[in-house]
Amino acid sequence: MCGIIGIASNKSVTSNIINSLKKLEYRGYDSAGIATIVNGNIDEKKCTGRVDNLEKILFKNPSKGLLGIGHVRWATHGIPSQVNAHPHSSEEVSVVHNGIIENSNELKKKLEQSGYKFKSQTDTEVITFLLTDFLKEFDLVEAINKTLKTLNGSFALGILFKKYDNIVVGARRGSPLAVGYGPQENYLGSDSYALKSMTNKITYLEDGEVCIISNNKVDFYNSKNIKINKKILTLSNDKYTAEKGDYKDFMSKEINEQNITAKNCVKEYVDQLRKDINLYNFPIQPKDIQKIILIGCGTAYHSCITAKYWFEELTNIPIEIDIASEFRYRKIKLSKKNLYIFVSQSGETADTFAALDLCKKNKVKTCSVVNAVESSIARSSDFVLPIHAGPEIGVASTKAFIGQMLVLYILAIKISQIRKEISETEYEKKIIDLKKLPDLIKKTLNYCQNNIPTIAKDFLKAKGSMFLGRGLSFPIALEGALKLKELSYLHAEGYPAGEMKHGPLALIEEGLPVVILAPKDRYFEKTISNMQEVIARGGKVILITNETKKIISENIRFTLEMPESNENLTPFLMTIPLQLLAYHVALLKNCDIDKPRNLAKSVTVE
């Protein structure tokens, strides 16, 4: 979950490396570093904390190299410190690394026996010394490939060499890496987002491939040391800017963009004239699907749980959901008659990609729901459904979650229609309702902005909180609890409301904040009964509902009234106050909203 940048140019690269690292901070922000070749030697500078700290060091002690590598770190091996920060350099080689080397301890012992002295606690320093060792005996490409074959685990690497002082080398296995092309300079980056300010011409490395970059040339090699040709892609222009504009932070901007995300998603998939959903080239005929398996991590997993309810209601297809990090370690009975759907904001989530890779090796049908159409998961899937959310920079996902749910809901409707499991009248009604969703989200946003800051104060001194819901509201309760944990570092739990009496009720005590999601649906009365159980034990209830005609209780701390909507659309509306609640609690605690501690946006390690 670290960020890598490499540049080979005919002018100083320091400024562009720093600017690119700032864009990559969503991948890691506990330390940063840069290495350049200056006067034939490796010039390494690194620090703890943000890229701003590195920039200050370079201001006092500039580096004028024409090629260089940079890194932002999300710690895995070794605490965040200057010595553990990347790059890791010997006299001959400097390396930046995203991923994990699983056999690093074993390799470290062998290298120490050969006389190498390690400074850091990282797994990355092993790579530096392996390369140094192999270069004594082999030429550049062979030394790199021998190093890669020695390593177990996942990695994307950026490498400088004292001996080869006009090139930057990149290599990957498991972790993403892209090459960018520019006039008199070429680039290496963890993703296209970091390179977009410099170029829109991109090539993606596949597993086992190596690239050698100079300022006017890029060569690619496979694992057999054979030079290969790679396709150059032109990146699409984003309709959204990745700047904060007038907002205090990216998260508040992205929360407030959710009606735009919904509008663009509906516009992309719904034919306005024919009252039809445009989805073509299914990897498997919907009528032949025997089972759908939805797979994701974190927030994406919550979108999968929500989608399970929609698919089960609208189709007769059996539905399973799976956490990606568990999926490939079980004895899964894969079938070519099933559709496996992978959900990921970044499209680079390591656990999700590994689950997808298992499915690809077994030649089963795959579909991905992603925000980045150039990502590894998108490129490896049989069928891709983009969510059209635009860049999401805040680490805690908001508009991407709305987009994931919306695409999955649209997919459920379309599959149901093709299989003739809903009537054409019902199909057209759902399309009409879909078109109303952006305005409903905007209305919800406007209402919540004024009410949530007051509610947030109740969470500051509480030792925990609960989020409860039934049916479609249950996964939204899970997501609300996750958001509060991610942003404010306060303990929170999401539960099915009916599960309270089977254990969690023991946690209810005087003053404990409990958020109850009770939309006007088939579960309403039962959810309110569960709420009364909480009130009777002293819980401080925040009720979120669109049922405004019933007097529910006089003992509710706050009631947030949502706009009325189709029952299937309530997850989109119920999500918004929970996002804003987490945001405002974190704001009151002076937490870093866009970069919560210990977390990174693109989770590219297991």
Which of 414, 540, 595, 601 is an active site residue? Answer: 601
Preceding omega of 563 cis (within 30 degrees of 0) = no
What is d(CA 295, CA 305) in angstroms, rounded to the nearest whole number?
A: 9
What is d(CA 92, CA 131) in angstroms, rounded to the nearest whole number?
A: 9
Tokens of 471: 């049916």
Q: In whole angstroms, what separates CA 145 from the centre of its chain?
A: 30
**Phi, psi torsion values for 515, nearest 5 degrees:** -90, 125
Bridge-based pairing state of the strands 338-344 and 365-370: parallel
What is d(CA 264, CA 44) in angstroms, rounded to the nearest whole number?
A: 45
Residue with tokens 């919907």: 286
CB neighbour list of residue 462: distance below 8 Å, 6 or more residues apart: 490, 511, 512, 513, 540
CB neighbour list of residue 28: distance below 8 Å, 6 or more residues apart: 1, 2, 3, 72, 73, 74, 75, 600
Cα–Cα distances (Å) from 64 to 43, 181, 217, in that order, read 10, 21, 21
Which of 2, 367, 448, 591 is an active site residue? Answer: 2
**What is the number of other CB atoms lying within 10 angstroms of the CB of residue 363?**
9
Q: Contact at 8 Å (CB) between 84 and 93?
A: no
The DSSP output letter for 585 is H
What is d(CA 489, CA 483) in angstroms, rounded to the nearest whole number?
A: 9
One DSSP character per residue, 246-277 reads TSSSHHHHHHHTHHHHHHHHHHHHEETTTTEE
Instruction: Identify whether 601 is a catalytic site residue.
Output: yes
- Spatial CA neighbour of 595 closest among 406, 440, 393, 347: 393
Q: In the sheet where 466-469 sits, what is the strand order?
A: 493-496, 466-469, 513-517, 540-545, 558-561
One DSSP character per residue, 485-553 reads HHHH----EEEEGGGGGGTGGGG--TT-EEEEE--SSTTHHHHHHHHHHHHHTT-EEEEEES--SS---
Instruction: Identify whether 304 is a catalytic site residue.
Output: no
Q: Contact at 8 Å (CB) between 488 and 599?
A: no
CB neighbour list of residue 87: distance below 8 Å, 6 or more residues apart: 33, 34, 35, 44, 46, 69, 71, 94, 95, 96, 160
The strand pairing partners of 100, in sequence order, are 154
Q: Contact at 8 Å (CB) between 177 and 169?
A: no
- Active-site residue set: 2, 601
